[in-house]
Each structure stands twice: as structure tokens, then as C-alpha cells.
């Protein structure tokens, strides 16, 4: 995984969450890449993911619909950039499937309050793994906005849900 040396987060522009857990790399990967599993952990409760489509290949679609307790739906369409099984998953909300540039902030495109790319890295660590989620922003303003919205808590709670879910799931 020399590839991992590739990403050097810029503290002024990027946000990073690092977690160690007893969940194996294979199960973290499975949780990120299986719609029926992702829907159970990806969004901190009481919000939920009410729909998810995954076409797991570079250029493939990563589609989620987040839904508030009141039923307000927030759809998000993204594109996978790198798919390295059990190790690294990269996706961006700046592109639609097939690498098509997205018209950002268009009416009804509520999820795209700012463009970002997410790099999910998973490394074996003892009987579990180390999970690093890096979110790459265009500018400091976007990073601050995301931080202010509670990136650390939100992505942290979601990962706690992943750990809880996958701790009761057997490796396939």
C-alpha cells in the first residue's frame, strides 16, 4: 500500500477522522460497499439513509438518499474514483457517474452545499483495523463550513454505528 503515501492532508483545507476498532478491514469494506449495510450506519440517527445505489468501480455511481425524522429527503449523487478492495475507497460529489461534472448548487441539489472528495483508507491493525476518513475541500471556507456542521461528531457517530453493526456481522 505505497499508494497510501499519496494523500497528505492539508490542515487548512482537509478534515481527517482516524479510528481504531476491532472490526476487520474486510468488514469495514463490506459496510462501505453493500447498500443494505451502508443504509444501516452511514447517517447518524435519528436521520436515516432511505435509498442507496452502489456501482463499485472507478466512474461508478454512489447514490444515497438521507431522510430526516420528518421525512425530508436529501438525495446525493457521487462518483467513485478509486476502488481498492479492503483498503481504499475514493469518491467525490463533484462528479456524477461516468465522471460527468456536476452543476453545483443547482436548485434541488441540497446535498451539494460544498464540493468534496472523500478518501476512506483501511489498514489492518492487530485483530482489527485503523480507519482513516479524509475529506478534501476546495477552499478554507468549505472546510470551516463542514467543520462547523459537525464533521468530527457526524462522521464519528456514523463510524460508531458501523462498528456496532459489523461487530454482530460475520465476514462473508
Residue numbers at the binding site for its own copies (CB under 8 A):
6-8, 13, 58-59, 81-82, 90, 92, 94-95, 98-103, 115-117, 119, 136-139, 142
CB hemisphere CA count around 171 (13 angstroms): 10
* ∠ CA 2-19-167, rounded to 5°: 110
Nearer to its own copies, 37 or 122 (CB): 122
- Quick check: 146 and 157 in contact, CB under 8 A? no
Q: Which is nearer to its own copies, 119 or 162 (CB)?
A: 119
Buried b (16+ CB within 10 A) or exposed e, 142-160: bbeebeeeebeeebeebbe
Q: Which is nearer to its own copies, 2 or 168 (CB)?
A: 2
CB of 118 to its own copies, least distance (A): 9
**Nearest approach, Cβ of 72 to its own copies (angstroms)?**
26
What is the closest distance, in whole angstroms, from the C-beta atom of residue 129 to its own copies in the complex? Answer: 23
Q: Among 121, 83, 148, 93, which Cα is nearest to 6's? A: 121
CB of 32 to its own copies, least distance (A): 17
CB of 139 to its own copies, least distance (A): 6
Which ranges constitute the DSSP H helices of the chain? Answer: 25-33, 35-41, 140-148, 151-167
Output 5 or 70, the one with its CB closest to its own copies: 5
DSSP secondary structure code for residue 20 in this structure? E
Nearer to its own copies, 67 or 77 (CB): 77
Amino acid at each position: 500500500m505505497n499508494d497510501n503515501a499519496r494523500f497528505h492532508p492539508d490542515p487548512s483545507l482537509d478534515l481527517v477522522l482516524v479510528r481504531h476498532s476491532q472490526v476487520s478491514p474486510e468488514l469495514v469494506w463490506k459496510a462501505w460497499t453493500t447498500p443494505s449495510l451502508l443504509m444501516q450506519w452511514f447517517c447518524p440517527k435519528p436521520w436515516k439513509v432511505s435509498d442507496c445505489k452502489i456501482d463499485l468501480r472507478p466512474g461508478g455511481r454512489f447514490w444515497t438518499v438521507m431522510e430526516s425524522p420528518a421525512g425530508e429527503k436529501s438525495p446525493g449523487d457521487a462518483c467513485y474514483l478509486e476502488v481498492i478492495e479492503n483498503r481504499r475507497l475514493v469518491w467525490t460529489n463533484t462528479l456524477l457517474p461516468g465522471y460527468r461534472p456536476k452543476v453545483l448548487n443547482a436548485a434541488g441539489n441540497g446535498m451539494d452545499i460544498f464540493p468534496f472528495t472523500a478518501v476512506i483508507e483501511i489498514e489492518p491493525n492487530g485483530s482489527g483495523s485503523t480507519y482513516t476518513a479524509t475529506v478534501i475541500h476546495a477552499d478554507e471556507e468549505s472546510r470551516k463550513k463542514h467543520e462547523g456542521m459537525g464533521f468530527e461528531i457526524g462522521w464519528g457517530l456514523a463510524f460508531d454505528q458501523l462498528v456496532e453493526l459489523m461487530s454482530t456481522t460475520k465476514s462473508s
